[in-house]
Amino acid sequence: MVRHRLMTPGPTPIPEAARLEMAKTLEHHRTPGFRRLLAEVLEGLKYVFDTTSDIAVLSSSGTGAMETCVASVVPRGGKAIVLDSGKFAERWADICEAYGIKVVRYEEPWGKSFEADEVARLLAEHADAAAVYATLSETSTGVGHDIEGIGRAVAASGALFAVDGISGVGAMECHMDDWGIDLLAVGSQKALMSPPGLAFVAVSEAAWQRIESIERQAFYFDLAAYRKALAGPDTPWTPSRPLLSALAASLRQIREESIENVWRRTATLARATRAGVAALGMELVAERPSEALTAAFLPDGVDAKAFLARLEGRFGVKLAGGQGPFSGKIIRIAHMGQIDELDILSTLSAIELVLAEMGQSVKLGSGVAAAGSVLLEEE
Ligand SMILES: *Cc1c(COP(=O)(O)O)cnc(C)c1O
């Protein structure tokens, strides 16, 4: 018998209070009780996103929020700049192309980050770009991008700034209003510690003006419909009330701890994880690491598929592997949300044991010791 330990960068473990909410009798959603629930969720999300903007709550996975940030905001035939250095950044470009939008790519190799100066240069060259699409935490590479710096470059232009914060928001600092973010896309199943199935788009005043002035290419994902319903507050279509009840409980937990403390605690876990994998001779993928997850190369000669299967079969530890060019080469460990110090230490311990079982020369305890030292320093 082994206990299952979910250590993937989405979905992440869900607090018990949130899980219990979903067992309650379902009530109808066009009621004062539902409006109170939605109002509470919106307040909690604004607190976590650090914004006073309106927030659309969608019944979809995170990609639905990304699609909304494209379909409601850039007209067919318009132009967008996409900051592309990973699987999820690529998705921005794919969505734009699906809507007939011309994409200008600022590409960097996977694992690298972007220069705000280069974004400014591209915006000068493409003054007709309607929006810039970026990613806070690139979950395929474990990079945390400089959204604050890039936001300054975009603010000096006429373009809107859209950020995929799906794995980053709630795990690392993100100040929507101060950083000049016009559209922030977030999902429920990462740092917000909720089941998959809800997504959010926070919309700045500048973005609302754009949305209301263009011919939008959306119906279910038309932000104008969400704005109209927010007067209730309501959602334009049937909301997932059980998921919203669960989210409300998770947001309460974040508020009790305070978002600043969540960021601090997550950053410490990130440092401990990085120290642990480095002590095991594993190189980091990210030149500028995200606080939400750590991506690291497996030692040469270790088959990633076999390694991950063994980690899960023998110890119940579920990690994510690599995508695209990193398929079969890297592992990704989450340290956001409900994941705590002992989760990280036990994961590192399991990694050491499986590496040793697979014939690698690792000193048992070396990864755990390195991570433990970081945790002690922080006390
Ligand atoms: C998980 C994730 C997504 C995709 O979300 P889905 O919920 O699978 O649609 C998009 N971007 C980032 C950065 C993610 O981590």
Domain holding 27: CATH number? 3.40.640.10
Task: Kindly state whether residues 247 and 265 are assigned to the same domain.
Answer: no
Read off the DSSP letter of residue 117: H
- In the listed set 236, 256, 276, which residue is the last one of a domain according to the structure? 256
pLDDT of residue 1: 87
Check: CB of residue 82 under 8 Å from CB of residue 51: no
> Measured in angstroms, how far is the CA atom of residue 11 from the centroid of ligand 1?
10
pLDDT of residue 378: 80
Check: CB of residue 35 under 8 Å from CB of residue 234: yes
The finding on whether 140 has its CB within 6 A of some atom of ligand 1 is no
Task: Kindly state whether residues 223 and 331 are assigned to the same domain.
Answer: no
> Measured in angstroms, how far is the CA atom of residue 227 from the centroid of ligand 1?
24
Task: Kindly state whether residues 251 and 292 are assigned to the same domain.
Answer: no
Task: Kindly state whether residues 203 and 220 are assigned to the same domain.
Answer: yes
Cα separation of 319 and 336, whole Å? 13
Check: CB of residue 163 under 8 Å from CB of residue 180: no
Please compute the mean of the pLDDT values over residues 275-296 and round it to a whole number: 98
pLDDT of residue 379: 66
Number of domains in the chain: 2
Q: Which residues, at least 6 apart from 140, have a Cβ–Cβ distance to it below 8 Å?
A: 86, 87, 88, 110, 295, 322, 323, 324, 326
The finding on whether 88 has its CB within 6 A of some atom of ligand 1 is yes
Task: Kindly state whether residues 218 and 302 are assigned to the same domain.
Answer: no
Task: Kindly state whether residues 300 and 233 are assigned to the same domain.
Answer: no
Residues making up the chain, counted from first to last: 379
Please compute the mean of the pLDDT values over residues 248-265 and round it to a whole number: 98
Task: Kindly state whether residues 165 and 281 are assigned to the same domain.
Answer: no
Task: Kindly state whether residues 147 and 268 are assigned to the same domain.
Answer: no
Task: Kindly state whether residues 327 and 180 are assigned to the same domain.
Answer: no
Task: Kindly state whether residues 244 and 347 are assigned to the same domain.
Answer: no
Amino acid occupying residue 177:
D
* pLDDT band, very low/low/confident/very high, at 96 (cuts 50, 70, 90): very high
Cα separation of 254 and 53, whole Å? 20
Residues 208-217 have pLDDT tens digits of 999 999 999 9
**Nearest CA owner, ligand 1 atom 6:** 62
Domain holding 263: CATH number? 3.90.1150.10
User: 70 — alpha (psi -120 to 50), left (phi > 0) or beta?
Assistant: alpha
Please compute the mean of the pLDDT values over residues 163-167 and round it to a whole number: 98
The finding on whether 311 has its CB within 6 A of some atom of ligand 1 is no
pLDDT of residue 47: 98
- In the listed set 241, 256, 271, which residue is the last one of a domain according to the structure? 256
Please compute the mean of the pLDDT values over residues 29-40 and round it to a whole number: 97
pLDDT of residue 21: 98
Check: CB of residue 115 under 8 Å from CB of residue 144: no
Check: CB of residue 46 under 8 Å from CB of residue 274: no
Mutate to test the pocket of ligand 1, among 164, 174, 200, 221 (most ligand atoms within 8 A of CB): 164
- In the listed set 256, 274, 309, which residue is the last one of a domain according to the structure? 256
Q: Does the bond joining 11 to the residue before it have cis omega, within 30 degrees of 0?
A: yes
Please compute the mean of the pLDDT values over residues 25-31 and round it to a whole number: 96
Amino acid occupying residue 311:
L
Check: CB of residue 48 under 8 Å from CB of residue 251: yes
Amino acid occupying residue 154:
V
Residue 282, domain extent? 5-10+259-377
Amino acid occupying residue 65:
A
Task: Kindly state whether residues 330 and 357 are assigned to the same domain.
Answer: yes
* pLDDT band, very low/low/confident/very high, at 255 (cuts 50, 70, 90): very high
> Measured in angstroms, how far is the CA atom of residue 31 from the centroid of ligand 1?
31
Atom of ligand 1 at shortest range from CA of 187: 7
Mutate to test the pocket of ligand 1, among 167, 194, 291 (most ligand atoms within 8 A of CB): 167
The finding on whether 62 has its CB within 6 A of some atom of ligand 1 is yes
What is the torsion angle, in degrees rounded to the nearest 10, for the CA atoms of residue 14, residue 16, residue 19 and residue 23?
A: 170
Task: Kindly state whether residues 182 and 55 are assigned to the same domain.
Answer: yes
* pLDDT band, very low/low/confident/very high, at 117 (cuts 50, 70, 90): very high
